[in-house]
Amino acid sequence: MVDQNSLYAPDDPAAVECYRNAARALKNAGLDFLVGGAYSFARYTGIARPTKDFDIFIRPPDRDRALEVLAAIGFRTEVAYEHWLAKAFHGDHFIDLIYNSGNATVPVDDGWFEHAVEAEVFGERVLLCPPEESLWSKAFIMERHRYDGADIAHILLAVGDHLDWVRLLNRFGRNWRVLYSHLILFGFVYPADRTKIPGWVMRELNARLRAELESAPPDERVCNGTLLTTTQYLPDLELWGYRDGRLGPHGTMTPKQIADWTEGVITGR
């Protein structure tokens, strides 16, 4: 883990002040939140990159109260998607309030806070998203215009030998193949550093794969590609008769949530 007492901040002093005020207001209101995005990524990897927004993670029940607190200090707020994302705007600056993932498989729960990392952002002491949850949330982002695989590789390179791998495996659950795919690619990207991933983890996932290969495939034709990209597998659903892996009982999303999220991606909302 990179030893830093503070995180990278935007060059724009107005942005720093805006986000500092937001963090202070949430803290003063007694609301739990975690800082993620470019700031936690910089803390774990040492890679700084410019960002125009501020990502904070909250428990789903805290969403409305957080929006009220931010509105009280001058932010314009909206719920972008009921199942995972709200936003707060102040001039040219904005905050993403995240309480799940777009595919609804990465909910923010107590475990995020129990394993959070303390750091300083904009001069405020805050909690960062744990590296395990940061990796978990990024692993499913494989859109045509955005793929977070390099971020995952850099997290593994920086802190792979310090991760709570049992907890990470449990986070992925039945979606362990997604994690396995990133771990295999890590060994390709960094051959000399592949021991950052404990050998028992690779053997465990290999054993799961072997067991799967020796069993019969499911009878129902389900496409889980929609958990990775919102629109690229629409032909599978619309033309070829596959069931959407996001939709219950296979996933946790409702038809309306899927329709809203798909429309948002297509329109750039």
Report pLDDT for 75: 98
As a whole number of angstroms, the longest Cα–Cα distance in the chain is 59
DSSP letter (8 states) at residue 122: T
Edge-first strand order for the sheet with 85-90 is 76-81, 85-90, 93-98, 53-57, 34-35, 124-128, 117-121
Report pLDDT for 9: 57
Helix, strand, or coil (residue 210): helix
36 CB-near residues (< 8 Å, 6+ apart): 55, 56, 57, 98, 128, 129, 134, 137
Distance CA 121, CA 10 (A): 11
Report pLDDT for 146: 92
Asked if 147 and 53 count as a contact pair (C-beta separation under 8 A), the reply is no
Q: What's the whole-model pTM score?
A: 0.93
Q: How many helices (H) and strands (E) does the chain have?
A: 11, 9
Torsion of CA 244, 266, 268, 137, to 10 degrees: 20
Helix, strand, or coil (residue 226): helix
Report pLDDT for 111: 97
Q: Write down all domains in the chain, each with its CATH number in brackets.
A: 13-129 (3.30.460.40), 138-213 (no CATH), 222-267 (no CATH)
Ranges of residues in the chain with a pLDDT under 70 are 1-11
